Amino acid sequence: MAAQFSWFNEPKSWSGDAGALKLTTEPDTDFWRETFYGFIRDSGHAYTRAVADDFSAEATVLGDYADLYDQAGLFLRLDEQHWIKAGIEYTDGMMHFSVVVTRGVSDWSVIPLPAAKSTDQVRIRLTRHGDAVRVQYSVGDMAWQMARLCPFPAADARVGVMACSPQGPGFDVSFSDFTVGEAIPRDLHAG
């Protein structure tokens, strides 16, 4: 039986399925919880399916990032207070690999990608091993890079793709090759 995907905050304009999904984000959409800014936003677009136990999820993302905080990537969600978003975020005039981990409140880390262009596809991987999640990315032909290793509850959740436009009018994004399968090996330094 194929996994059942569903929308959380379905955008007005989208087509395709988990294997090849295109959408245009709505303005004023975001996932964030309290830290620094003092607000809670749970309005981003996410197309997800149920997951249990350990797993690795991967997707390729390509977006027309133009406005501050335009973002697209993978999303792991237990509930409104426990989620992870990881992917490309446009800030300070360039693409960054961004990870937000929310456990009651959000934290945010970014890795500048000064050589990346909006035409570069980015591959993203989330792996859950028990109560830990590893976040990795690859731009173009580069090897997988670890961006984050964080604690996260080992509970049934939903995983999929997400996109948001917190400040801009919306942008076009496409996702391809979304997969969920067995967790990759635990060795953090394997080639």
pLDDT on residue 140:
85
At 188, the pLDDT band (50, 70, 90 cuts) reads: confident
What is the rounded CA–CA span in Å between residue 76 and residue 102?
Answer: 10
Residue 143 per-residue DSSP state: P
pLDDT on residue 191:
58
Beta-carbon contacts of residue 43 (< 8 Å; ≥ 6 apart): 9, 28, 29, 30, 31, 164
Contact 31, 41 (CB under 8 A): yes
For the record, the structure tokens of 158 come out as 């939903």
- pTM for the whole thing? 0.95
- Residue holding tokens 């964030």? 32
**Residues 110-141: tens digit of each pLDDT:** 999 988 887 888 999 999 999 999 999 999 88
Domains in the chain and their CATH numbers? Answer: 21-181 (2.60.120.200)
% pLDDT > 90, the chain: 87
Sequence-separated contacts (24+) of 141-148 with Cβ below 8 Å: 143/191, 145/97, 145/111, 146/188, 147/86, 147/97, 147/99, 147/109, 147/111, 148/86, 148/99, 148/101, 148/109
**Residues 9-42: tens digit of each pLDDT:** 999 999 999 899 999 999 999 999 999 888 999 9
At 165, the pLDDT band (50, 70, 90 cuts) reads: very high
Beta-carbon contacts of residue 72 (< 8 Å; ≥ 6 apart): 61, 63, 65, 87, 88, 161, 162, 163, 164, 173, 175
- Count of all residues that appear for the chain in the document: 191
What rounded mean pLDDT belongs to the chain?
95
Q: Between 37 and 181, where is the model more confident?
A: 181
What is the rounded CA–CA span in Å between residue 190 and residue 185?
Answer: 8
pLDDT on residue 124:
98
pLDDT at position 92 over 70:
yes
pLDDT at position 1 over 50:
no
**Residues 147-164: tens digit of each pLDDT:** 999 999 999 999 999 999
What is the rounded CA–CA span in Å between residue 165 and residue 188?
Answer: 33
Q: What 3-state class would DSSP assign to 11?
A: coil
**Residues 43-78: tens digit of each pLDDT:** 999 999 999 999 999 999 999 999 999 999 999 999
pLDDT on residue 141:
85
pLDDT on residue 2:
59
